[in-house]
Amino acid sequence: MQTITTVAELRRALVNFRKADKRVGFVPTMGYLHDGHLALVEASRTQCDVTVVSIFVNPTQFGPSEDLSTYPRDFLRDEKLCRDAGVAIVFAPDAQEVYPAQFETFVEPGELAKPLCGAFRPGHFHGVATVVCKLFNIVQPDVAFFGQKDFQQCAVVRRMAIDLNLPLEIVTVPTVREPDGLAMSSRNRYLGERERQRALAISRGLFAAADEFQSGERNVERLIAIAKRHLETVDRLQYLELVDGDTLKRAETPLRRPAALCAAAYIGSTRLIDNVILAWPTP
């Protein structure tokens, strides 16, 4: 495995893969890797010949009062996990390499970036779309892999790839959970033991609503109310929304199209997000 920190060096390393007509898979991350990231790597290894993982805590997607400076980092551990998982290249640029002096061109996502996290984290998806677009241009992968936990991010990135004619496939990989249901997230490490227990209210609420959906409930308000009963124990519920799976607008009763029940909640000072997809089995 190679660890590369500059765009020029990465381009040189990728030339040989391209000459050999290798299918390049790409997993963009902000590091502090967990089993959710490793599931993306595994999906890439299954579908591609070589896997590139980027590790870059992207400053443009953090608001001024968010956790950029304290975001968990452990580069040596991440490198080892990548090596053990069969990654070919870890791309770990510094902020200067990605945003050199005089950088001023951004990607501005549209309506999909406005609800849910977009409403509470102004500028977040502007930063995500910009860095993901740059990383796509730098790595030029055939396929890129994203986790479903960041449901809105997947929608924004997919739309961007279509709108900007980016020549790659976007694959969404199901959320990986701890055995008790908590969605894996680098931010889980902020939680103390008791907070960790209280955080289970989020997945429990979402699962309870998903069970009712499976039993035939199609009323949007009732499905939200079922989840909310569990989520009452979180310290601050930022949003709990049932949105259309494609447009991310509030879903309509009766549900007739795939939808996503999405939540963001604070446990202590830690903000966690999670979602479940409410969809009909494919025939």
Q: Taking phi first (over 0 means left), then psi (-120 to 50 degrees means alpha), and beta for anything else, what does residue 180 get? A: alpha
By beta-carbon proximity to ligand PAF, the closer residue of 61 and 203 is: 61
For ligand PAF, which residue of 58, 130, 148, 175 counts as binding (CB under 6 A)? 58
37 annotated active-site: yes
Site string for ligand PAF, 95-124 (x = CB under 6 A): ------------------------------
Q: How far apart are CA 66 and CA 246, in angstroms?
A: 28
By beta-carbon proximity to ligand PAF, the closer residue of 96 and 282 is: 96
Residue 234 interacting with ligand PAF (CB under 6 A): no
Residue 183: beta bridge partners? 177
Residue 243 interacting with ligand PAF (CB under 6 A): no
Q: Taking phi first (over 0 means left), then psi (-120 to 50 degrees means alpha), and beta for anything else, what does residue 194 get? A: alpha
Residue 165: CB atoms within 10 A of its CB come to 6
Query: Shortest distance, CB of residue 157 to ligand PAF, whole angstroms?
Result: 7
Residue 172 interacting with ligand PAF (CB under 6 A): no
For ligand PAF, which residue of 142, 150, 212, 274 counts as binding (CB under 6 A)? 150
By beta-carbon proximity to ligand PAF, the closer residue of 136 and 207 is: 136
Annotated catalytic residue within 37, 124, 126, 230? 37
By beta-carbon proximity to ligand PAF, the closer residue of 153 and 188 is: 153
One-letter amino acid identity for 72? P
For ligand PAF, which residue of 113, 131, 251, 272 counts as binding (CB under 6 A)? 131
Instruction: Considering only the stretches 104-112, 125-133, 211-219, 237-245, report the one whose residues sit in contact with ligand PAF under the rule CB under 6 A.
Output: 125-133
Reference 116, options 90, 87, 155; nearest CA is: 155
Burial class (CB in 10 A: 0-12, 13-18, 19+), 269: exposed
Residue 61 interacting with ligand PAF (CB under 6 A): yes
By beta-carbon proximity to ligand PAF, the closer residue of 29 and 175 is: 29
Residue 28 interacting with ligand PAF (CB under 6 A): yes
Size of the site for ligand PAF (CB under 6 A): 10
**Rule CB under 6 A: which residues touch ligand PAF?**
28-30, 58, 61, 128, 131-132, 150, 153
Catalytic residues: 37
